[in-house]
Amino acid sequence: MKVIENGVCAAIGFKAGSIHCGIRKNQTKDDLALIVSDTICQTAAVYTKNKVKAAPILVTKKHLINGMSQAIIVNSGNANACNPKEIENAELEAQCAADYLNMDVENVLVASTGVIGQVLPIEKIQDKVSDINLSSENNSNAAKAIMTTDTKEKTVAVEFKMGSVTCHMGGICKGSGMIHPNMGTMLAFITTDCKVEQNVLQSCLLDNTNKTFNRVSVDGDTSTNDMCIVMANGMAQNEII
């Protein structure tokens, strides 16, 4: 295995992008990101074990009933949690991304991070999502856009062999406070071009998060929005795992 550059854009067929849409008052920081695959992906996910789960998790779980996705829309600055319009606005967030990307809304996953208890200004996302420039060079922009109290972006990528075929895997993550065993205020998005069955992907993700993310503690708090998603589009064309 070899460490490489470009995070979630390192795998074949993945692009990302971000923009400042106005959720955050800081005009210099992007607060909306997209991660998009050229094709449908086998997808695995794990979520916070907090009893209270925010609408983005509930909508994402619903969209992942079939174990497939093609895009993730992520906003920072507002968790869209514990407010009367959270489900409606999470669904609208997925829909505006689907409209921009010209794909079925069920193939769009949703994540939010930030202040809890405030209504998400969904119209700001709807107004700006189509201005996001998607590129295979935009990993760093997306990584920075999902940050809240983080002091630096968190990104990694590797290449590895499956038989004679070179595959790639990369990810971005955010999380600084409210981290305790069983996730925490953390979002992690991982992409790979390796061809792998969904049940195997889910099993591997669960096994690894139990050894890693679910053992991390910063301040003893868990949160409402935490998730880790892995998207595998199979474009490396290795023999399926």
Q: Where in the sequence numbering do the catalytic residues fall?
A: 185
If you ran DSSP here, which 8-state letter would residue 214 be given?
G
Q: What is the DSSP letter of 26?
A: -
* 8 A C-beta contact, residue 62 and residue 94: no
Beta-carbon count within 10 A of 214 CB: 18
CB atoms near residue 40 (< 10 Å): 16
Token readout for 101 is 């990307």
CA dihedral 100, 106, 109, 115 (to 10 degrees): 90
What residues have CB less than 8 Å from 184, skipping those under 6 apart? 48, 175, 178, 213, 216, 217, 218, 221, 222, 223, 226
Return the percent helix, strand and coil in the chain, to nearest 5: 25, 30, 40
How far apart CA 121 and CA 127 sit, in angstroms, is: 11
